[in-house]
A and B are shown apart, each in its own frame.
Chain A
Amino acid sequence: MFKKVLVVNRGAVAARVLRALNAMNIPSVAVYSEADNHAPYLEMASQTFAIGPAPARESYLNQDTIIEVLKKSGADGLHPGYGFLSENAGFAQKVIDAGSRFIGPSPKWIDAMGHKTRARDIAAQYGMPMSQGSGVLPDDNDAILAAARKIGFPVLVKPAGGGGGIGMLPAKDEAELLTAVERSRSMASRGFGTSEVYLEKLIERPRHVEFQILGDQHGGAMHLFERDCSTQRRNQKVIEEAPGPLIPRDKAVGVADQIAGIMKSMGYDNIGTVEMLLGADGSFNFLEMNTRLQVEHGVTEEVTGVDLVRAQIRSAAGEKLADILPGKPEIKGHAIQARVYAEDPKNFFPSPGKLTVFRPPEGEGIRIDTGYAEGRDVTPHYDPMIAKVIVRAATREAAIDKLVEALDGFDIQGLKHNIPAVVNILRSGQFREGRVHTGIIGEVTGKKI
């Protein structure tokens, strides 16, 4: 097991990983930017290092500084959390070259899954279910049109190097296609440093259903079922739940088993999530794979009772899955998570500010993951998530009621937050009936987002 682990992140995930390390009696090292000085979770760490100014590229993304801290602290493991450097294969390799272990999959998997068309190619080779798609598009307009005709309209233009839904544009016919390709290229080159784009068959009103994977370094891989994360704004998740509503259990478990089998034959060796789009026809289509801990891992933990962060750390330390999780995990009850964002509930614009009041709800079956506390500033430098409210109950209906109650009891003042918008969705008939899809927020609010 690790002697000491450096946590290279901030906020809720830094708090979450530090909590796991403390439970495992592993000494921990935390880092903080100037904006996060005195953040409440830093008290959980055995040791802390200041790593520079507030902008992430000068602190949490500054690889040289972080490798220096790694060496100085003598940590033999590094947990990247999610976001920042968690899916940077070059950085993972630097950690390994410095003589430590990266708590995540091997750099080759981060690299392979980080490039969308290459990830599709690899997944396809292993028999992953997926919709039709193209390779990286050439510059030639005729070739682009031919690629789209082969797939069949409508298609979705997607950046090959990116994520987070940035630069994704639908095209319903040939007239729209070339403009969409051009716009997507420009957004991709600005956002991801490469203008490579490709096409996928557009799945209309899709659900986002993802599968939690855990692999070890001995050829073992398993799944911990699915999560539905369809409720999104601007292609970013707002509400996540497990198990997925209105999916027959044998179907969900069948797809999960199939994916776990693929991960095993690939030799995937740590935590990961395979994201799929579920079409109205019941087809599951590979979207992408995230080679890291997911923001919504908590709902899986709540329904399976498995501590995913501890399991991830043990796997990275070289333990076998058979020892980490000896029994076959089962789903008990239902869990739902709401992401509380510092943003205007009407137009979803960011709303940084000071948390003059910040009193999360408490109660049985309510879990709060946060990196903030009353009196702290939510700065414009980082993403707007201020807390995750996770609830667990015997049924989906009871879980929805509990989440609404918990959110209603969350007293936040000093900035605008999205709780009114989330409660509005949770109360809608469409959500309660489980008729979720990635456009549900727009449909419930009547707004284009």
Chain B
Amino acid sequence: MARIEVKSEITGTVWQLKAKPGDQVEGGDVLIVIESMKMEIPVITEDGGKVVEILVKEKDPVAEGQVVAIIEE
């Protein structure tokens, strides 16, 4: 099974977790919402599968390109 790293496109702070380990997700689903510069930017998975790990928690700072979740196809 392929492990897929889901990355944040932007630098900001984790505002909401929309998925948890064990969840089945589809391509296009929002996993996490990042708040940056007064905007909410969703972290969307391109691939469907099972969420293995969410690597951040609410209020955590994240950097552009940082891996924030792992999905298993």
Contacts and interface: CB of A to CB of B under 8 A. Distances in A.
A380 interface: yes
B37 A342 contact: yes
Contacts of B24: none
Contact of B10 (A350, A381, A382, A383): A350
A380 B36 CA distance: 5
Contacts of A353: 11
Interface in B36-60: 36-39, 41
Contacts of B36: 350, 352, 380
A383 B38 contact: yes
Contacts of A380: 10-13, 35-37, 61
Contacts of B10: 349-352, 380
A336 to B, nearest CB: 24
B11 A352 contact: yes
B29 interface: no
Interface residues of A, number: 12
A350 B13 contact: no
B72 interface: no
A384 interface: yes
Contacts of B12: 350, 352, 380
Interface string A36-75: 0000000000000000000000000000000000000000
Nearest to B34: A380
A382 B37 contact: yes
B41 A349 contact: yes
A338 B38 CA distance: 20
Nearest to B62: A380
Contact of B38 (A349, A351, A382): A382
Contacts of A350: 10-12, 36-37, 39, 41
Nearest to A353: B11
Contacts of B37: 342-343, 350, 352, 380-384
B61 to A, nearest CB: 8
A237 B9 CA distance: 24
A351 B10 CA distance: 7
Interface string A323-356: 0000000000000000000110000011111000
Interface string A316-327: 000000000000
Nearest to B61: A380
Contacts of A352: 10-12, 36-37
Interface string A348-378: 0111110000000000000000000000000
Minimum-distance CB pairs A-B, first 10: A350-B37, A384-B37, A380-B36, A350-B36, A380-B12, A352-B11, A383-B38, A349-B10, A380-B11, A350-B10
19 contacts: A343-B37, A349-B9, A349-B10, A350-B10, A350-B11, A350-B12, A350-B36, A350-B37, A350-B39, A351-B10, A351-B64, A352-B11, A353-B11, A380-B13, A380-B35, A380-B37, A380-B61, A383-B38, A384-B38
